[in-house]
Structure 1
């Protein structure tokens, strides 16, 4: 794979597929970090690797950008074997975000974001424009933050800068190793929501490592559940994983309360009972029509109601009963059998 291919931008070149073919990592002392692991990550999707400590999640991530060299197997980006490329050059075209961000403390934010573009030989004007563009994209005003230093930012703000830096050279692949775990729960939720909006805009191929099942369900297009030695237990969209765990081990890992989590990833629109636009709401609580069954249930519980009205563009478009909220996931699960 040549550098030109990796530098493509725009709709056609903004994301790339990742194929892991029987990759493994065994250390000289005989320790098997990853035995035999295979996975297909679709272009433009966010895949989450999750599992207990020591199951090889971070090792797999680091093998993709060759911070760790695999002992066996092949790693393909858009069908090209990256193990045949220069490792340093490869990393310049793969975005990488880590838990503690790793910003350079002696450099201001704009300079931090421009790290990889400088290595690629971009001119100063282009680097500064790109840095400011990305600051705006992650919700930080360039006029206010570009010349600040990392210690002058909150943990959540530094994490946003870390994401901006990873996107600076417009990579088609973004790797994230527990990117939000170092911030407090409230800030984490906000960062996750903002990240989803960002991904909807940039549509990168993302592999994200986390130990938090709620984060995996909220962010992932697909979730890979791993066991010790990098063994893949199940790889599926969040709703399928929660409704139909392949094994007792997966069911135990995603938790006994997976039914509630299932509601949070199930759109309410397909379950709506038609309602004429302009029809009276009759005091029933309302929720956005593009929300989830969890949103509908929360609105009902808050108002002590048995039905909710879905609203779109300020007009009611459908209704949903409390019984239907619990019935829909079960019906979908049975339909997959």
Structure 2
């Protein structure tokens, strides 16, 4: 992971919306990486950009912090057109995280996390306090990890330090380019869980690029699916993208198993339940509001045709396998 300078050193920055208004990127050789793209990311929302290789998703991300200059169109951070402001000043308001960590190898973890606040002239006490807060926030004990060097950390721990560094000066926007792709699948799943917990606490505006549809479905409040030239094929909540593909391109991209993926983002509500069954039936139990995918997994593991759905440890209804399969086909 790596990070550009962010923030100003004042605590309490709020998240800001991002509006892409007809942005374009054409290179001198005539290549059109992004022909014209418009979409809005609400403040505090996590939006995932996904699509096939070469569709322009990373180019879009880098245009937001102007590591790549757009050829045309407007990019608004809140109400401000950032194509008209100083790029260095802009990047002090935006955290940037990439997949290969990029920590300074000869600096300790706490020194790495405090890089941006130091550049912004924070006091040593402010930096020490902020570094400790952030290491705890990403699940690393400052007393245990603060004095370690990057080579003494696992890949997942280095990723966490990278996120902490990106958040150090409280940016209004966080951009993430394939942040979890360099670690193995088990660690990736744990990092995704930790990141969802972290986002629930900090509620930053986040734009995340990934090539992994399962990751997009798991993390995104909304998913923007792009095709060649940065064309926006569909921009929707994960359940809508999977359940109602807007075009043949989207249908092919999400795949034939989109129904199973959709179950992972479909909560079990009271409206799909049958009355509770006799406790002697000894069915597996799942919580109300849990995913339909977990309910189906419990049925398949136990060989049962239904699960008991509970709220506050009390049964409120029964969910059948047939009803779960209906949910996946909606």
TM-score range, shorter chain: over 0.9
Tell me how many residue pairs correspond in the alignment. 325
TM-score, normalised relative to structure 1 = 0.92
Supply the distance in 2 between the matched residues of 1:271 and 1:6 (Cα, whole angstroms).
48
Q: Which residue of 2 aligns with 1:121?
A: 121
* Shift in CA distance, 8/186, structure 1 to aligned 2, threshold 3 Å: same
Task: Decide which moves more: 30-39 or 310-319.
Answer: 310-319
Supply the distance in 2 between the matched residues of 1:326 and 1:7 (Cα, whole angstroms).
51
Matches of residues 83-232 of structure 1 in structure 2 within 5 Å? 83-232=83-232
Matches of residues 21-32 of structure 1 in structure 2 within 5 Å? 21-32=21-32
* Shift in CA distance, 274/14, structure 1 to aligned 2, threshold 3 Å: farther
Q: Which residue of 1 aligns with 2:234?
A: 234
* Shift in CA distance, 7/289, structure 1 to aligned 2, threshold 3 Å: farther
Supply the distance in 2 between the matched residues of 1:8 and 1:129 (Cα, whole angstroms).
14
TM-score, normalised relative to structure 2 = 0.94
The CA RMSD over aligned residues, in Å, is: 1.9
Q: Which residue of 1 aligns with 2:312?
A: 313
Deviations along 1:194-213, whole A, 9 cap, x unmatched? 11111111111000000010
Superposed displacement of residue 307, structure 1: 1.0
Structure 2 unaligned runs (5+)? 1-6
Superposed displacement of residue 295, structure 1: 0.5
Superposed displacement of residue 317, structure 1: 2.8
Supply the distance in 2 between the matched residues of 1:274 and 1:306 (Cα, whole angstroms).
13
Structure 1 unaligned runs (5+)? none
Supply the distance in 2 between the matched residues of 1:311 and 1:130 (Cα, whole angstroms).
41
Supply the distance in 2 between the matched residues of 1:274 and 1:128 (Cα, whole angstroms).
55
* Shift in CA distance, 39/6, structure 1 to aligned 2, threshold 3 Å: farther
Superposed displacement of residue 313, structure 1: 3.0
Deviations along 1:46-75, whole A, 9 cap, x unmatched? 100000111111110000001111111111
Q: Which residue of 2 aligns with 1:292?
A: 291
Deviations along 1:115-144, whole A, 9 cap, x unmatched? 111122111111111111111111111110
Superposed displacement of residue 273, structure 1: 2.5
Supply the distance in 1 between the matched residues of 2:110 and 2:143 (Cα, whole angstroms).
11
Deviations along 1:170-196, whole A, 9 cap, x unmatched? 111000000000000000011111111
Supply the distance in 1 between the matched residues of 2:89 and 2:235 (Cα, whole angstroms).
31
3-state SS of paired residue (1:20): strand
Kindly indicate whether residue 297 of structure 2 is the aligned counterpart of residue 302 of structure 1. no
Deviations along 1:231-254, whole A, 9 cap, x unmatched? 111111100000111111111111
Contact 2:270–2:317 (8 Å) recurs in 1: no
Q: Which residue of 1 aligns with 2:63?
A: 63
3-state SS of paired residue (1:229): helix
Contact 1:116–1:169 (8 Å) recurs in 2: yes
Contact 2:274–2:319 (8 Å) recurs in 1: no
Kindly indicate whether residue 304 of structure 2 is the aligned counterpart of residue 325 of structure 1. no
Contact 2:310–2:316 (8 Å) recurs in 1: yes
Deviations along 1:145-170, whole A, 9 cap, x unmatched? 01111111111110011111111111
Supply the distance in 2 between the matched residues of 1:7 and 1:42 (Cα, whole angstroms).
24
